[in-house]
Structure 1
Amino acid sequence: MPLMAVAIAYATGATRLCRRSGHGRPIRARQALWFAMGWIVLAAALVSPIHALSQRLFAAHMIEHELLMAVAAPLLVAACPAAALLWALPAGFRRNLGTIGHGKLLRMTWAFVARPLNATVIHGIAIWVWHIPALFEMALQQGVLHYAQHASFFGTGLLFWWTLLPRPGRQQNYGSAVMHLFVTSLHTGLLGVLLLLSPKLWYPQNAVGAALWNLSPIEDQQLAGLVMWIPAGLVYGGAALLMAGLWIRSSETRAGADALRPS
């Protein structure tokens, strides 16, 4: 139901924005496509058979987490959905939210967590802490902790990508983005390699269905580590390469503009 509510709110707000202004429709159409893709991935992670399978197969659990952090989160950030979601709300409620958003404490808190270094550290802490065996298995047993685990992965993922991906109207530091993406690729890859090479089973309770897929519990863990190391690493590494390309292009553009500027 929350997924459906968000989809309806976005569609309502985007329609209102399009009716109010005919400018920027190609951009809004592209953003709507990003949002739709991110929403579909989020739904696939949370309400498809992947979620049910993740309770009994650690590799499926890892796929679910990577879909939340490394696929759905950047797609939704690229969609820049805040304006559309706000326009789905009544005008009075929007004004109240604006007043709350301009509060000093909230602005100071957001300014702190939205720094690229801080967002990278917060996202990294969420990933490593929830993979502590005792805490991970507690989350499997208790629904509230399981929801908290997913919310922290997805929420810190949104924060991480929001601080790094280029957005309209913001001066982009591509060098910083490349560095933080590279660091995240390294530490998540390290965790994946530890899972892959460890001779000890980290999460016995999450491998009870491995035999149904002709896997031993340790093979299930190795497959999960491989998922975290290779596909997820390719996402972060690919994003870093993209940022590096944009960095080079922006540098060339600035160099060309400086050359044309009269001395």
Structure 2
Amino acid sequence: MRYLVRLSAIVITYMSVALPNAIAHTDTNLLSTQEWTFDPWVWLPISIGSLWYFKGSWMLRKKRSSIRANHLRLLTTFGVALIILFFALIWPLDKLSTVSFAAHMIQHMLLIVIAAPLLILAEPSVALIMALPQAWRRSFSALHARLRRIRRIFLLPQTTFTVHAAIIWIWHAPLLFELALHWQWMHAIEHFTLFGSALWFWTSLKRAGRRSDDGYGVGALWILAMLIHTGLLGALITFARQPLYVHYATSDSLLFSLTPLEDQQLAGLLMWIPVGICYLLAGILFALAWLKSAEDEDKQLFY
């Protein structure tokens, strides 16, 4: 319990005011542009996707007056998601993650439970389709109609939950985690699959809520399941008696001058507590939406 209290205090400090101090305790100068991530596999998709989204969003605003009321909200949500992606993938967490498992865990947390749901809330699909040339839009609409049945199966919450949960556990297995730290292309695949499966999961929950009266209630249950299994993984990492990853066990640039085992315990707590809080808040929002939809249905029946 003494160690949990100590590490919990570190979590709060890290997430609030201590990140600059953490940077100062590493051997790398992260304020230098040389320590930023300029990998084209990272910034190029983000840049192209952003320009594509903003173009489609502007075209929608000019074409549909009904969208103007929500235009600023959607753009703001998308912009916040881009900022989160910047901190997670470009600066500073991508470089910090090479010397600290805790920083690596924050990086995954930002991708899975913050950036991904924010992007889904920004409703990018309509804007991205709108930005296509008109002939491509017609072809896409035809393909979209033909794949309706397959899409319905692939967007079932139980399907997306299973895949997303499996990817989280697989990439935190020591062997694959070590390989991702030593091979840049595998590291890119790790982030792509974690972020992509998170987008898939949150998309399926949002779709389920819109398609049925109890969809939001079902979504709340699947979010609860996600909270439980990520909490279990975080607890296993926190209470491990020895470092699980050789790369961090031999690192001499750990944040806060922690030992490798303390850095690992901090990473486990980050997955266990802050990630759990994010899922809990999302589950509460889904439950409230479910109650509201049930209330609206009762009013329609009454009147």
The CA distance in 2 between the partners of 1:223 and 1:58, in whole Å, is: 8
Alignment of 1:122 onto 2:122: no
Whole-Å Cα distance in 1 between the matches of residues 151 and 283 of structure 2? 24
> Paired residue for 2:206?
165
Q: Which 10-residue stretch deviates more, 12-21 or 231-240?
A: 12-21
- Structure 1 window deviating more from structure 2 (110-119 vs 161-170): it is 161-170
Equivalent position to 2:217, from 160, 175, 180: 175
Are the counterparts in 2 of residues 3 and 43 from structure 1 also a CA contact under 8 Å? Answer: no
- Aligned pair count reads 258
Amino acid at match of 2:59: R
1:190 maps to amino acid: L
CA displacement 1:133-155 (0-9 Å, x = unmatched): 00110111111211111011001
- The within-5 A match list for 1:129-144 is 129-144=170-185
Partner secondary structure for residue 66 of structure 2: coil
1:1-263 equivalences under 5 Å are: 1-104=44-147, 107-165=148-206, 170-171=211-212, 173-207=215-249, 208-211=251-254, 213-260=256-303
Secondary structure at the aligned position of 1:56 is classed as coil
Residue 204 to residue 226, structure 1, CA distance change in 2 (3 Å): same
Deviation at 1:257, TM superposition (A): 2.3
Unaligned 5+ runs, structure 2: 1-43
Provide structure 1 residue ranges, at least 5 long, that are not aligned to the other structure. Answer: none
Deviation per residue, 1:141-200 (Å, 9 max, x gap): 111211111011001100111111368963351221111000000000000011111102
Please tell me the residue identity of whatever aligns with 1:54: S
Contact 1:137 1:206 in 2 (8 A): no
Q: Please say which of residues 207-216 and 7-16 is displaced more in the overlay.
A: 207-216
Taking the aligned partners of 1:247 and 1:169, their CA distance within structure 2 comes to 10
Letter in 2 for 1:69: I
Q: Secondary structure at the match of 2:123?
A: coil
Q: Residues 60 and 130 of structure 2 are in contact (CA less than 8 Å); yes or no, is this contact kept in structure 1?
A: yes
For residue 24 of structure 1, give the secondary structure of its aligned residue in structure 2. helix
Deviations 1:77-113 (A, max 9, x none): 0111111112222212222333333444xx4443222
Structure 1 length-normalised TM? 0.92
Closer/same/farther in 2, CA of residues 211 and 83 from structure 1, 3 Å limit: closer
The AA in structure 1 aligned to 2:76 is L
Partner of 1:23, secondary structure, is helix
For residue 198 of structure 1, give the secondary structure of its aligned residue in structure 2: coil
Select between 211-220 and 117-126 the one with higher mean Cα deviation: 211-220
| SS of the residue 2:65 aligns to | coil
Alpha-carbon separation, structure 1, partners of 2:92 and 2:252: 14
State the one-letter code of the partner of 1:35: F
1:96 partner amino acid = S
Say if 1:30 and 1:212 are closer, same or farther in 2 by CA, change over 3 A: closer
Q: TM-score, normalised by structure 2?
A: 0.80
Deviation string 1:191-242 (CA, Å, 9 cap, x unpaired) is 0011111102111203514445311000010000010001100111111111
- Aligned-partner SS, 1:89: coil
Change (3 A) 1:83 1:212: closer
Distance 1:120 1:176 in 2: 12
Q: Give me the identity figure in percent.
A: 36
Q: Is the 8 A contact 2:60 2:67 kept in 1?
A: no
